[in-house]
Structure 1
Amino acid sequence: SLILCGPTHIARAVRLRDGRLIVNPGSVGSPGYSYNVPHPHVVQAGTPDARYAIVELTPAGWNVSFRHVPYDHRAMATLARANGDTEFASALATGWIR
């Protein structure tokens, strides 16, 4: 009745027609990226916060709460920039690819 998956980096819950719930908690340290495999794509969370989910079974079914937690993302962006990865630095700093 519950399917946990990842890492798509985007926090989301989807209830299927048969009642099963799919939950992706998000990402703790990668709020965005671009990649060319299997085809060109960009993923952007729109927030630099770390994200996770709490899933609990209640008498009414599964309940999901998503949490966004601030952390020192600027320090991580500085480290990415120092390592020459300006795209990842942008994602870490803002949650968006620039």
Structure 2
Amino acid sequence: SPRRRIEQLAEGITQALILCAHTHLARAVRLRDGRLIVNPGSVGSPGYRDVHPFPHVVEAGSPAARYAILELDGEAWQVTFRHVPYDHDAMAALARQNGQPELANAIATGWIR
């Protein structure tokens, strides 16, 4: 299961808070032992297509820039995800001008289609 795979990947990491990125999707996973894994999402690339490690598409479904706020509540980390608008149309226009129509659509909409 995906949960089991996440637990395996986190083996040997003893920190209470684990930050990661690359998928561009905001997500938090609390492990059975209380550790928290956080991916804050993407600031300006809400969708992409990749071929490694296998062909796949990632789509956030919104052009908003994303970030996360982390707070220590006693001994447990808490996460709040935020999203903010920005001039994604101007960035999409730049992508189109540079011959990147798929990237332009992802920036403008959060979708690859």
TM-score above 0.5, yes or no: yes
Equivalent pairs counted in the alignment come to 98
Computed over aligned residues only, the root mean square deviation of the Cα atoms, in angstroms, reads: 0.9
Structure 1 segments of 4+ aligned residues over 4 angstroms from their partners: none
Larger Rg: 2
Q: Which amino acid aligns with 1:55?
A: L
| Structure-2-length-normalised TM-score | 0.84
How far off its partner does 1:38 sit? Answer: 2.1
Structure with more of its chain in helix, by fraction: 2
Partner of 1:71: 86
Give the letter aligned to residue 66 of structure 2.
Answer: R
Helix, strand or coil at the partner of 2:89: helix
Q: Note the residue ranges of structure 1 that are not aligned, 5 or more in a row.
A: none
* 1:60 Cα deviation after fit: 5.7
Gaps of 5+ in 2: 1-15
Q: Is the aligned partner of 1:45 residue 2:60?
A: yes
1:3 maps to which residue?
18
Offset of residue 59 of structure 1: 1.6
The answer to whether the 8 A contact 2:34-2:76 is kept is: no
Q: What is the identity percentage for the equivalent residue pairs of Structure 1 and Structure 2?
A: 72
- Give the strand-richer structure, 1 or 2: 1
Code of the residue aligned with 2:54 in structure 1: it is: H
Farther-moved stretch of structure 1 (53-62 vs 27-36): 53-62
Deviation at 1:26, TM superposition (A): 0.3
TM-score normalised by structure 1 residue count: 0.96
Q: Which of structures 1 and 2 has the larger relative contact order (alpha carbons within 8 angstroms, sep 6+)?
A: 1
